Every structure is written in C-alpha cells, then in structure tokens.
Homo-oligomer: A and B are copies of this chain.
Amino acid sequence: MNYKQFRHCGLDVALTMLSGKWKPIILYHLFHQEQIRFTDLWRIIPKVAKKVLLDHLKQMEAHGLIIRTEKNTFPPEVYYQISEKGRAMGPALTALELWANEYAADEVKDLQDDKKKKYLIRKESLS
C-alpha cells in the first residue's frame, strides 16, 4: 500500500471539518435525504440542543459541506442539503465506517446501545 499521498495537513483540514459531536449524524441524514427542514432534523436527532445543532450547521455551511436554502413563506422554512463538496466526502466516510465495523465492532456496538438508550429517553419526552 502506498501512503505517499497521506499528508497530515489535508487530513487536518478534513478532520477539522468533521469535528463536532453531532456532525456524523447530521451528515448521515443529509446523505440519505436530499433536503431536510431544520425542525425535522432537530426532532430526528436525539438530545441535541437547538443552538448547538444550529452552530454545527453554520460551521458546515461555512466549510461548504452543506447548502442552506430559505423560503420566505410563513412560518419560515429552511432547508439544508448536502453540497457537491460534501457529497464528494462520501466514499471517505464510508471507508471510515467500514473500518470501524471491521476493526472496532465492540466500540460501535457500545455506541449503538448508548444512543438507543438516549433515543428512548428522548422519545418519551415527545408526545
């Protein structure tokens, strides 16, 4: 295998753009849904504070990973979708995902259980 291309600067940049507690799950939804409204995203993701979700979305928009579109209807509708730049990251993310499932299955399972628990808590608190 050849790691001549693997230089830490680019890796730093990519990881910086991915750093943030909720970015993986945000990306997950945006990769699967064309576009999604702010409030829907907020309701789907368990336990994020509105403000924090917004912070993350702003950062990602600033990095060019996602696109924000605002319709001036009332009440306002704001849609988020993945950009070309963001979508281009897909294969790399899939590679990480596969690595985790193959080499860190235990940790993945732990995290899943953990999230399931949190999700149940959140579900209770809704309707």
A8 at the interface (CB under 8 A from B): yes
Determine whether the beta carbon of A11 is less than 8 Å from that of B115: no
- Neighbour of A9 across the interface among B1, B19, B32, B108, CB < 8 A: B108
Contacts of A88 in B (CB 8 A): 99, 102-103
Contacts of A3 in B (CB 8 A): 31-32, 90, 94
A108 to B94, CA, bound (A): 22
For this chain, the copies found in one complex come to 2
Give the bracket for the number of chain A residues in contact with chain B: 35 or more
Question: Can you report 25 residue pairs joining A to B where beta carbons are below 8 Å apart?
Answer: A3-B90, A5-B98, A6-B28, A6-B31, A6-B93, A7-B28, A8-B24, A8-B25, A10-B97, A10-B100, A11-B24, A11-B93, A11-B97, A12-B25, A12-B111, A14-B96, A15-B15, A15-B18, A15-B24, A15-B96, A85-B103, A91-B95, A92-B92, A92-B95, A92-B96
